[in-house]
């Protein structure tokens, strides 16, 4: 669409051509693949088999996430240290199981007079994210947040950003909310840095798992039945209803048009 509107924009042309290469490569890989029924990464990850080395000095995750674990994790991230892969994968497995149970449109009830904070794109800026928390208060049952997509890409600390958000979502599932943005998608992560960052800090397997997980993030939220929040915008078709959104299958990469496309992209 951008190339059609701005046919002489060199940057748009370059990005479009890169997208086309990725699409063609993926189509070729699907065509030659003999594994059409590929299993979820979650089925191949065995956290119990992952040993935690004695030299590891980061936070240790028990059965469930605690506030103390989150504060320790944030401190280690500030020091630019990594969470051990055993605990990172455990968080992802727990988060994956949880987001799969969510509806496409999550409905939130905020009591009258209570504070509720909505934040836009963070884009891998971990230190900005923590600055928000230090100024506005850390997430809690009395200080709820909704982050409205584009958690990763562009910034150099997308891994730290997304694990901080996942941790708070697991700690406060009814008071910390996350909507999918257009950058929670495979093509964007390949082009804008998240895939490469995950591979560098962890592994290809984890990168593939994030691709799966992002497909189950809710597409939008409805607050008190009257405030509609999504990353992109409203719809090209005026006839779209809330029930149409509820029925939208989000477990996929963003399409080029339709309800899901409009919710994730502003055109």
Hey, what are 261's tokens? 């496309």
- Cα–Cα distance, 131 to 90 (Å, whole number): 27
- Cα–Cα distance, 40 to 58 (Å, whole number): 28
| 218: Cβ contacts below 8 Å, ≥ 6 apart | 99, 102, 103, 104, 105, 106, 177, 178, 179, 180, 250
- Cα–Cα distance, 121 to 148 (Å, whole number): 7
Hey, what are 95's tokens? 């988060």
| 265: Cβ contacts below 8 Å, ≥ 6 apart | 182, 232, 233, 254
Question: Known catalytic residue: 183?
Answer: yes
Q: Which of 84, 183, 221, 231 is catalytic?
A: 183
Beta bridge partners of 145: 117, 176
Alpha-carbon torsion (40, 86, 148, 9), positive or negative: negative
Query: Active-site residues: which are they?
Result: 183
């Amino acid at each position: 669409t951008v190339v059609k509107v701005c046919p002489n924009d060199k940057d748009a042309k370059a990005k479009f051509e890169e997208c086309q290469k990725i699409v063609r490569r993926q189509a070729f890989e699907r065509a030659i693949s003999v594994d059409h029924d590929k299993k979820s990464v979650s089925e191949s990850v065995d956290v119990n088999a992952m040993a935690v080395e004695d030299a590891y000095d980061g936070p240790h995750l028990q059965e469930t996430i605690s506030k103390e674990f989150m504060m320790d994790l944030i401190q280690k991230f500030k020091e630019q240290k990594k969470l051990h892969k055993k605990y990172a994968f455990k968080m992802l497995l727990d988060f994956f199981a949880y987001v799969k149970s969510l509806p496409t449109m999550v409905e939130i009830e905020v009591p009258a007079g209570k504070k509720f904070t909505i934040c836009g794109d963070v884009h891998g800026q971990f230190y900005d994210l923590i600055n928000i928390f230090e100024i506005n208060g850390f997430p809690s049952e009395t200080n709820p947040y909704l982050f409205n997509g584009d958690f990763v890409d562009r910034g150099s600390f997308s891994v730290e950003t997304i694990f901080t958000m996942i941790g708070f979502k697991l700690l406060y599932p009814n008071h910390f909310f996350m909507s999918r943005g257009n950058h929670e998608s495979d093509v964007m992560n390949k082009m804008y840095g998240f895939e490469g960052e995950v591979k560098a800090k962890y592994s290809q397997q984890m990168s593939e798992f994030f691709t799966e997980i992002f497909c189950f993030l809710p597409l939008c939220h409805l607050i008190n039945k009257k405030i509609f929040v999504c990353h992109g915008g409203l719809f090209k078709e005026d006839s779209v209803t809330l029930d149409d959104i509820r029925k939208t299958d989000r477990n996929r990469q963003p399409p080029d048009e339709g309800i899901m496309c409009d919710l994730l992209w502003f055109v």
